Amino acid sequence: MNLTNFNTSEEFFVDMQRCIGCKACEMACAECETNGQQTLISVNYVDRASTIQTTVQVCMHCEDPVCANVCPADAISQDEFGVVHTASTERCIGCSNCVMACPFGVPKKVEEYDLMMKCTMCYDRTSVGKKPMCATVCPSGALFYGTREQIEEMRPNSTPINNFIFGQEKVKTKVNIMMPKGSTELRIY
């Protein structure tokens, strides 16, 4: 019996070029009671020495999450919807293997709790049919949670991709990055 209302037709889309650095997503995330007032999303400068361009960083929810694979305490789980959850407080030993292994640099060890924490795609909200907090407050549309059809209509000159190549390693994710129309993957060197 499925006890959630997780809408499998909705996806998370990130349009890096639309981030204006307002940090509304960080503040909304910190308001979530299940995070202990910690923000699990980050707004970062691309290259502060030469530009004020910012980008937002969320967990990409990899299909084969390396963070969970390297966890010696089996503290990180992935559910049937592909959501990769924050480390279980009962199991996490604070070793930071997941922090070092993530190709996207997402998990953070919160020293105050001696615990790894990361974006869970607002599972407390998405599991009951609501949108993630960050996507509901983003004024520029850098973060969007909805159907593929909706994003394609909103961004006709872009293509959502969830295939990344890090050297020889291929990573497929649940979260999509908006790229120029016709793109199929993003190579990271």
Q: Indicate whether 170 belongs to any domain.
A: yes
In the DSSP assignment, the letter for residue 188 is: E
Minimum mean pLDDT among 20-24, 36-40, 104-108, 144-148: which range?
Answer: 36-40
Q: Indicate whether 142 belongs to any domain.
A: yes
For residue 140, what pLDDT is reported? Answer: 96
For residue 3, what pLDDT is reported? Answer: 65
What average pLDDT does the segment 142-169 reach?
Answer: 96
Q: Give ∠ CA 59-121-151 in degrees, rounded to 5.
A: 90
Q: For position 93, which CATH number holds?
A: 3.30.70.20
For residue 36, what pLDDT is reported? Answer: 72
Q: What CA–CA distance (Å, rounded) separates 30 from 36?
A: 8
Q: Indicate whether 3 belongs to any domain.
A: no
Could you tell me which of 87, 52, 51 has the C-alpha nearest to residue 68? 87
Q: Looking at mean pLDDT, say which of 39-48, 113-122, 137-146 comes out highest.
A: 137-146
Q: Indicate whether 114 belongs to any domain.
A: yes
Residue 5 has pLDDT above 80, yes or no: no
Residue 105 has pLDDT above 80, yes or no: yes
For residue 158, what pLDDT is reported? Answer: 97
Q: Indicate whether 5 belongs to any domain.
A: no
Q: Indicate whether 4 belongs to any domain.
A: no
Domain tally for the chain? Answer: 1
Q: Residues of the chain with pLDDT > 90: what percent?
A: 75
Q: What is the pLDDT of residues 24-46, one digit of tens each?
A: 999 999 987 777 788 999 998 88
* Mean pLDDT over the full length of the chain: 92
**Which pLDDT band, with edges at 50, 70 and 90, does 124 fall under?**
confident
Q: Indicate whether 126 belongs to any domain.
A: yes
Residue type, 11: E
Segments forming the whole domain that contains residue 57: 10-187
Q: Indicate whether 2 belongs to any domain.
A: no
Could you tell me which of 58, 52, 54 has the C-alpha nearest to residue 44? 54
Q: What CA–CA distance (Å, rounded) separates 32 from 39?
A: 8
For residue 131, what pLDDT is reported? Answer: 94
For residue 1, what pLDDT is reported? Answer: 44
